[in-house]
């Protein structure tokens, strides 16, 4: 087996498509070398070594030592140095690199190979201050990530030293100061560990390699893998690379960049750099970074020179390379670079993370630039991420009491109560409160709090800080680096411009502008035009599935249309019964003792329902509308208070005891499997009759009003047998005939059924003889297939997912193997007796991208989902068809 792959000097043993073996970073370093770009030479220890390591009691393959030695000497040859050589030492960086970038893993050790001897060589060859500054950085980093002696120990020593000497800035320290500190640092390590800081470069190297492999199994990495369903078996690679130095004076620098703006998608080099600094200084947010381009500098109103003016040659080279890399990978790239004494070196390239807004714009523009096809563009945007675009923004007309401004790190606006810790954010969220997580900066330990918060606000860190990157990934609004904020964790206060906010005070953040606003500011729904409309148009050209919405209120129906819904796939009529004006009549209907009592209540409801349907038909003019007969357990409508009971009794003209007795009769042990669905229509056909009448009368009225034909689809819920369907079907058809006779109109309509019980799926062939369409109700179908209550699942399904019993919550994403099998059976058997049967899905799964893919594969005609998810379903359906 080949365990080690080298790269550098215009060639490499690996390439971009070897991510599984070399990890993302290693594969792209190899690719850049192959492209002839300036990459410091190095080598990648493969992910297979990681797998071997854990399969063999944390030991390495026997050949590895020799392979690494050989690679090291090759790297030394290319760099003109030699590892451990006291006269001309090769220094290296060691970094982890999994297939997908993974926060929580050991990140980086720089300057490895320095010891008491080699530091003197570096001092002679370069500069003494630089040499000892590098050495103390190495001791700090190595001790922290490899030896477990935490960073703060060294910070304290440094602070103490500065205080003693009357120095304030790190730049005030000279060569002797750093040399003196190195002595102190080593003493600290000795004191903490009872053994000295390792001086042997080979021991250092193997220590760092071991730390990378060890970090694959640390708690944070395990959590991250679980959250992102990354298999443990993938393992990580280790990249060892010759050091280049961004901290060798004013012609040296280090930086990060995106080839396009990751927040807006604008085509412009975007990023930040620091002169005379090493990589971790940019990310750590200790010094405020400078802009890359003059344009960005002007826009930011910064007085610090841009890279374009400070290092013009290196900048030009960098601009050329970023264009080349974007063209080569045909996607926006996220780059890391270092300039050593004016010479540019590339340290990393990868596809850049971006907001949904940027993803859309970039995909559309790349297609327009001819770099990718329209279809590829459709495939480039994660449907689930569209959610971000559907977030509210601050109403431009609203008054803004701006208390501070930071960076617009992740778009969308959010309001909530201030909390200062991730745990607190989670606790408040559980109580149903909306919170804004306010931190100086965030780290991977804050992820759960970021999940729980509406938005994130930090006082430190740039557009590439942890808070910014993670918030964008989550689609949460984030304002980062609002430097005017004074956050006091102890006092639980936030002070800015003389004003103090306490925990629990409400603020609003605008991730689009970076503003922090006092109080809850009114918000607006986003506009769905521009690139959004363009990409959706391209998606609509490819997809086979139609997309409808689940909606019953006029507002939802309008929203659904504006999101591109092609009809209504489920109108839950029971939702129309909860309105204040009609709940009394509904209760009368339920609590009536006999048909006469029910009919008198139904007579009150009929005109209300008819008006509902007229409005729905008008809004959905020309599009199909599926209306489902009353479904939920009747107890949901029963009075909750004595007062309400009295009110119902009065209106029915009976005494309270009688109502209470009826109430008891209706009580059910297991309402979800009880008196609901078509069972109501069978016991009380007059209810179905009223609803059918309301639908057909409304169809006649709406057709007259709009001049368009209305073709209602009347749907019967919770069918288990054909006999049930036949009874309800007859009530509906008799009513239609009656309405035709009364109005003289000719009705066109369909009667179909939900398939939401396993028996219905199994008997689909028989049921389809009578039913003209099926709509798979996968909420109930999941509930009944698993025998898991959909309302109680939360308490025990979580651990199921954590323990790997289930990969995902089957109420969120369809269980293809079980519930999906029932759907497949329903489709096949239904088509047997009625080849042209219309087939759809209207459970929550209709808006879940993976489930939409499944629906496409089994050949449904449409999916129906909540209005906000219509665009997601449109895009997911297109991707399924690519
Ligand atoms: C279903 O069961 O999937 C469905 C759409 O109906 P409801 O959620 O109203 O039970
Ligand atoms: Mg249902």
DSSP string, 746-779: PP--EEEEEE-SHHHHHTHHHHTTT-SEEEE-HH
* 756's tokens: 């939401």
Q: Which of 50, 478, 785, 842 is catalytic?
A: 842
Residue 516, SS3 per DSSP: strand
Task: Choose which residue among 548, 549, 571, 572 to substitute to test ligand 1 binding: the one with the highest number of ligand atoms within 8 A of its C-beta.
Answer: 572
Pick the ligand that lies closest to the CA of residue 844: 1
Question: What are the residue ranges of helices labelled H in 56-111?
Answer: 64-79
> What is the whole-number distance in angstroms between the Cα of residue 22 and the centre of ligand 1?
46
Query: Is residue 361 within 8 Å of residue 533, measured between CB atoms?
Result: no
Task: Choose which residue among 717, 781, 790 to substitute to test ligand 1 binding: the one with the highest number of ligand atoms within 8 A of its C-beta.
Answer: 717
- CA nearest to 79, candidates 302, 270, 71: 71
Residue 284 has pLDDT above 60, yes or no: no
Query: Is residue 104 within 8 Å of residue 223, measured between CB atoms?
Result: yes
Residue 96 has pLDDT above 70, yes or no: yes
- CA nearest to 219, candidates 96, 45, 103, 57: 103
pLDDT of residue 106: 76
Pick the ligand that lies closest to the CA of residue 842: 1
Q: In the chain, what are the domains?
A: 4-242 (3.30.1490.20), 253-354 (3.30.470.20), 392-524 (3.50.30.10), 543-571+620-631+683-881 (3.20.20.60)
Per-residue HEC secondary structure of 683-737 comes to: HCHHHHHHHHHHHHHHHHHHHHHHCCCCCEEEEECCCCCHHHHHHHHHHHHHHHH
Average pLDDT over residues 282-304: 82
Question: Whose C-alpha lies nearest to ligand 1, atom 10?
Answer: 780
Q: How far apart are CA 647 and CA 176, in angstroms?
A: 89
> 195-223 b/e with 16+ CB inside 10 Å = b?
eebbeebeebbbbbbbbbbbbbeeebbee
- Bigger pLDDT: 318 vs 396: 318
Q: Which of 391, 466, 845, 856 is catalytic?
A: 466
Pick the ligand that lies closest to the CA of residue 573: 1
What does DSSP say about strands 455-458 and 499-502: parallel, antiparallel, or unpaired?
A: unpaired
> What is the whole-number distance in angstroms between the Cα of residue 782 and the centre of ligand 2?
10
Atom of ligand 1 nearest to the CA of 756: 2
- CA nearest to 188, candidates 139, 130, 132: 139
The answer on whether 780 is annotated among ligand-binding residues is yes
Atom of ligand 1 nearest to the CA of 550: 5
> What is the whole-number distance in angstroms between the Cα of residue 778 and the centre of ligand 1?
7
At 542-573, the pLDDT tens digits run: 999 999 999 988 878 998 998 899 999 999 99
Lowest mean pLDDT among 90-104, 162-176, 634-648, 825-839: 634-648
Query: Is residue 728 within 8 Å of residue 691, measured between CB atoms?
Result: no
Pick the ligand that lies closest to the CA of residue 719: 2
The answer on whether 778 is annotated among ligand-binding residues is yes
Query: Is residue 318 within 8 Å of residue 326, measured between CB atoms?
Result: no
* 497's tokens: 């411009």
Question: Whose C-alpha lies nearest to ligand 1, atom 1?
Answer: 777
Query: Is residue 614 within 8 Å of residue 712, measured between CB atoms?
Result: no
Question: What are the residue ranges of helices labelled H in 436-582?
Answer: 447-452, 466-474, 530-542, 554-562
Residue 335 has pLDDT above 80, yes or no: yes
Average pLDDT over residues 313-338: 97
> What is the whole-number distance in angstroms between the Cα of residue 754 and the centre of ligand 1?
9
* 27's tokens: 């594969």
Task: Choose which residue among 549, 573, 716, 777 to substitute to test ligand 1 binding: the one with the highest number of ligand atoms within 8 A of its C-beta.
Answer: 777
Q: How far apart are CA 353 and CA 259, in angstroms?
A: 11
The answer on whether 661 is annotated among ligand-binding residues is no
At 494, the pLDDT band (50, 70, 90 cuts) reads: very high
The answer on whether 769 is annotated among ligand-binding residues is no
Question: Whose C-alpha lies nearest to ligand 1, atom 6?
Answer: 777
Residue 220 has pLDDT above 90, yes or no: no
Atom of ligand 1 nearest to the CA of 717: 6
> What is the whole-number distance in angstroms between the Cα of residue 627 and the centre of ligand 1?
13
Average pLDDT over residues 703-729: 96
Within 10 A of 156 (CB to CB), how many other CB atoms are there?
Answer: 11
pLDDT of residue 356: 84
Task: Choose which residue among 575, 626, 628, 754 to substitute to test ligand 1 binding: the one with the highest number of ligand atoms within 8 A of its C-beta.
Answer: 754
Pick the ligand that lies closest to the CA of residue 569: 1
> What is the whole-number distance in angstroms between the Cα of residue 718 and the centre of ligand 2?
7
> What is the whole-number distance in angstroms between the Cα of residue 766 and the centre of ligand 1?
22
pLDDT of residue 136: 95
Q: How far apart are CA 304 and CA 298, in angstroms?
A: 10
Question: What are the residue ranges of helices labelled H in 653-684?
Answer: 656-666, 678-683
Q: How far apart are CA 196 and CA 200, in angstroms?
A: 11
Residue 797 has pLDDT above 90, yes or no: no
At 641-680, the pLDDT tens digits run: 888 889 888 888 888 898 888 888 888 888 889 999 999 9
Q: How far apart are CA 469 and CA 334, in angstroms?
A: 12
At 279, the pLDDT band (50, 70, 90 cuts) reads: confident
pLDDT of residue 463: 66
Atom of ligand 1 nearest to the CA of 570: 5
Query: Is residue 97 within 8 Å of residue 28, measured between CB atoms?
Result: no
Average pLDDT over residues 722-742: 98
At 20-38, the pLDDT tens digits run: 999 999 999 999 999 999 9
Pick the ligand that lies closest to the CA of residue 777: 1
At 286, the pLDDT band (50, 70, 90 cuts) reads: low
Lowest mean pLDDT among 130-144, 280-294, 331-345: 280-294
* Percent of all residues in the chain with a pLDDT value above 90, rounded to a whole number: 72
The torsion defined by the Cα of 497, 503, 505 and 509, in degrees rounded to 10, comes to 70
pLDDT of residue 350: 93
Using CB distances shorter than 6 Å, the residues near ligand 1 are: 570, 572, 631, 756, 777-780, 842-843
Radius of gyration, alpha carbons of the chain: 33
Question: Whose C-alpha lies nearest to ligand 1, atom 4?
Answer: 777
Q: How far apart are CA 502 and CA 882, in angstroms?
A: 52
Atom of ligand 1 nearest to the CA of 776: 3
> What is the whole-number distance in angstroms between the Cα of residue 775 and the centre of ligand 2?
10
Catalytic: 50? no
Residue 176, SS3 per DSSP: helix
- CA nearest to 568, candidates 580, 560, 576: 560
> What is the whole-number distance in angstroms between the Cα of residue 739 and the centre of ligand 1?
29
Average pLDDT over residues 330-336: 96
Residue 132 has pLDDT above 90, yes or no: yes
* Percent of all residues in the chain with a pLDDT value above 70, rounded to a whole number: 98
The answer on whether 779 is annotated among ligand-binding residues is yes
Catalytic: 842? yes
> What is the whole-number distance in angstroms between the Cα of residue 663 and the centre of ligand 2?
24
Task: Choose which residue among 636, 780, 844 to substitute to test ligand 1 binding: the one with the highest number of ligand atoms within 8 A of its C-beta.
Answer: 780
pLDDT of residue 388: 67
Write down the residue that tokens 């919550």 correspond to.
Answer: 809
Main-chain phi, psi angles of 753, to 5 degrees: -140, 155
> What is the whole-number distance in angstroms between the Cα of residue 744 and the centre of ligand 2?
35
Does the model's ipTM exceed the 0.95 cut? yes
Query: Is residue 440 within 8 Å of residue 447, measured between CB atoms?
Result: no
Q: How far apart are CA 648 and CA 586, in angstroms?
A: 10
Average pLDDT over residues 857-864: 98
Residue 494, SS3 per DSSP: strand
């Amino acid at each position: 087996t080949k365990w080690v792959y080298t790269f550098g000097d215009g060639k490499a043993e690996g390439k971009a498509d070897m991510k599984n073996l070399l990890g993302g970073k290693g594969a792209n370093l190899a690719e850049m070398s192959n492209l002839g770009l300036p990459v410091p030479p190095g080598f990648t220890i493969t992910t297979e070594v990681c797998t071997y390591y854990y399969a063999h009691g944390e030991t390495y393959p026997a050949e590895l030592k020799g392979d690494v030695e050989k690679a090291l000497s090759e790297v030394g040859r290319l760099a003109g140095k030699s590892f451990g050589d006291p006269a001309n030492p090769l220094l290296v960086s060691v970094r982890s690199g999994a297939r997908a970038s993974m926060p929580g893993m050991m990140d980086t050790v720089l300057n490895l190979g320095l010891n008491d001897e080699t530091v003197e060589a570096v001092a002679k060859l370069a500069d003494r201050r630089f040499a000892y500054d590098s050495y103390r950085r190495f001791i700090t980093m190595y001790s922290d990530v490899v030896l477990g002696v935490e960073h703060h120990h060294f910070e304290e020593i440094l602070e103490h030293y500065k205080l003693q000497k009357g120095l304030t800035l790190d730049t005030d320290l000279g060569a002797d100061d750093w040399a003196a500190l190195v002595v102190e640092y080593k003493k600290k390590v000795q004191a903490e560990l009872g053994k000295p800081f390792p001086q042997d470069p080979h021991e250092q190297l193997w220590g760092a390699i071991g730390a990378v492999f060890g970090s694959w199994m640390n708690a944070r990495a395990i959590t991250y893998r679980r959250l992102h369903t990354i298999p443990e078996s993938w393992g990580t690679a280790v990249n060892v690379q010759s050091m280049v130095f961004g901290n060798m004076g004013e012609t040296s620098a280090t930086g990060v960049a995106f080839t396009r703006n990751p927040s807006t998608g604008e085509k412009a080099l975007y990023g930040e750099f620091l002169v005379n600094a090493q990589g971790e200084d940019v990310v750590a947010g200790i010094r405020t970074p400078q802009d890359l381009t003059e344009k960005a500098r002007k826009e930011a109103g910064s007085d610090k020179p841009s890279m374009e003016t400070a290092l013009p040659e290196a900048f030009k080279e960098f601009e050329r390379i970023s264009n080349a890399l974007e063209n080569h990978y045909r996607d926006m790239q996220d780059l890391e670079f270092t300039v050593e004494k004016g010479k540019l070196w590339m340290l990393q390239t990868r596809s850049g993370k971006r907001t949904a807004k940027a993803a859309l714009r970039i995909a559309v523009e790349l297609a327009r630039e001819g770099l990718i096809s329209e279809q590829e563009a459709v495939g480039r945007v994660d449907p689930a991420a569209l959610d971000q675009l559907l977030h509210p923004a601050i109403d431009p007309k609203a008054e803004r009491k701006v208390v501070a401004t930071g960076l617009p790190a992740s778009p969308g606006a959010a309001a909530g109560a201030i909390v200062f810790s991730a745990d607190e954010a989670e606790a408040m969220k559980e109580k149903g409160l909306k919170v804004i997580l306010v931190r100086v900066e965030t780290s991977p330990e804050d992820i759960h709090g970021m999940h729980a918060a509406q938005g994130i606000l930090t006082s430190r860190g740039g557009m590439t800080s942890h808070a910014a990157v993670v918030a964008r990934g989550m689609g949460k609004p984030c304002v980062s680096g609002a430097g005017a904020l004074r956050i006091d964790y102890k006092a639980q206060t936030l002070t800015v411009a003389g004003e103090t906010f306490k925990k629990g005070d409400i603020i609003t953040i605008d991730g689009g502008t970076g503003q922090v606003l006092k109080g809850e500011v009114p918000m607006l729904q986003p506009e769905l035009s521009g690139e959004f409309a363009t990409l959706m148009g391209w998606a609509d050209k490819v997809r086979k599935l139609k997309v409808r919405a689940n909606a019953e209120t006029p507002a939802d129906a309008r929203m659904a249309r504006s999101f591109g819904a092609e009809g209504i796939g489920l109108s839950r009529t029971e939702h129309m019964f909860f309105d204040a004006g009609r709940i009394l009549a509904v209760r009368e209907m339920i609590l009536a003792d006999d048909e006469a009592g029910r009919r008198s209540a139904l007579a009150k409801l009929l005109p209300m329902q008819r008006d509902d349907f007229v409005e729905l038909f008008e809004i959905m003019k020309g599009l199909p509308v599926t209306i489902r007969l009353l479904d939920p357990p009747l107890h949901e409508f029963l009075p909750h208070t004595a007062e309400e009971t009295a009110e119902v009794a009065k209106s029915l003209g009976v005494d309270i005891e009688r109502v209470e007795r009826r109430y008891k009769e209706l009580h059910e042990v297991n309402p979800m499997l009880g008196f609901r669905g078509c069972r109501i229509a069978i016991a009380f056909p007059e209810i179905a009759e009223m609803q059918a009448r309301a639908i057909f009368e409304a169809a006649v009225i709406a057709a007259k009003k709009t001049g368009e034909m209305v073709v209602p689809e009347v749907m019967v819920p919770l069918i288990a047998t054909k006999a049930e369907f036949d009874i309800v079907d007859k009530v509906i058809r008799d009513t239609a005939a009656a309405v035709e006779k009364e109005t003289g109109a000719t009705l066109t309509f369909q009667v179909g059924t939900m398939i939401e019980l396993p028996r219905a799926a199994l008997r689909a062939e028989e049921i389809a003889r009578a039913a003209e369409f099926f709509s798979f109700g996968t909420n109930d179908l999941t509930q009944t297939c698993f025998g898991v209550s959909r309302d109680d699942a939360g308490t025990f399904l979580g651990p199921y997912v954590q323990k790997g019993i289930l990969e995902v919550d089957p109420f969120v994403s369809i269980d293809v193997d079980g519930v999906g099998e029932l759907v497949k059976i329903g489709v096949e058997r239904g088509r047997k007796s009625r080849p042209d049967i219309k087939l759809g899905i209207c459970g929550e799964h209709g808006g879940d991208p993976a489930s939409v893919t499944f629906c496409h594969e089994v050949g449904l005609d449409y999916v129906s989902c909540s209005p906000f998810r219509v665009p997601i379903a449109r895009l997911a359906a297109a991707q399924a068809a690519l």
